[in-house]
Amino acid sequence: MMLEQQLANTTIIRRVLLIGGGICLVAAGICGLFSTSKPLKHAAQPTQEDVQPQFQAEKLSAIPNLGVMVDEVRPLQQTTRVVASGQHSAEFRGTHFIQTNIKNYALEIFETNKEELIQDFLDKRSDRQKFIYLRLSIEHQPERYILLYGLYNSEDNAQEQLQQLNLGLPKSIHPKTVALKNYADLVNDMGADELSSNQQLYNVKLKPAAIPQTPVVSVVPATSTVTTTTPAVQTTITRKDHEGNVVSVTQSAGIEASAPH
């Protein structure tokens, strides 16, 4: 009987646990359904009204700084004259020559991108003092050198000289009349005439000068004097009475004598 009762109690306990577990499982499923049925709350997206004021504030704060770089880095000014590198001939000219002869005309002989060709041409000419050449600086283009001949105060004079010109040039070269003002914006160099004028030469002239006479100083042999000092002699006189007591003491000093030798 006891065994049967224990088995019955065990069966009851198992049923109670099984029923309790089932109830817990059902409760968990119901809670899961409720949690998944509610939509998740996402972070609120900023509206157009929220974005626009912030964008406008940044835009307005940037406007006052637009002109800062203009003050710090100024626009390029074509006022600085340069000294073109290289060894130029004495016929090389720059802006000073153009400005001085801005109303004059010349004959354009030929144009090249190598200065050496012009220098070789001038070296072979005995009348090279009538030629000049310029360096043309054009933006985004390689530099060019142009050789000119003569200097005329009018286009008619230049054209007349062109008809009479006989330089023995090759047939491929065709000189033409040109106004020097056409090169005013293309030349930005210091010519050889300016560079040579800046180098000042100084002459040092030496003049003969009288040599001052030096006075003759006679040398007199020095005489030496030896002085011998004789020590002084001091005399003491003591007077005593008949009893032997000192009555008076008298001292007398001798005179020092010196004799030159």
Instruction: List Cβ neighbours of 258 (8 Å cut-off, separation of 6 or more).
Output: 227, 228, 229, 230
The mean pLDDT value for 192-205 works out to 61
Q: Which domains, and CATH codes, for the chain?
A: 95-198 (3.30.70.1070)
**Which pLDDT does position 253 carry in this prediction?**
60
> Exposed, middle or buried: residue 225 (CB in 10 Å: 0-12, 13-18, 19+)?
exposed
Is 90 exceeded by the pLDDT of residue 229? no
Residue 234: strand, helix, or coil: strand
d(CA 144, CA 136): 5
**Which pLDDT does position 135 carry in this prediction?**
94
What pTM was estimated for this model as a whole? 0.46
The mean pLDDT value for 182-209 works out to 74
More confident residue, 261 or 208: 208
CB 129 within 8 A of CB 149: no
CB 106 within 8 A of CB 178: yes
- Average pLDDT of the chain is 74
What are φ and ψ of residue 74, in 5° steps?
-75, 155
DSSP 139: T
The mean pLDDT value for 241-259 works out to 63
Residue 227: strand, helix, or coil: strand
Query: Can you read off the two tokens belonging to residue 143?
Result: 């530099």
Could you report the per-residue pLDDT of 41-52, keeping only the tens digit for each?
555 555 554 545
Torsion of CA 188, 193, 197, 198, to 10 degrees: 30
For a pLDDT cut of 90, what percent of the chain falls above it? 32
The mean pLDDT value for 144-152 works out to 95
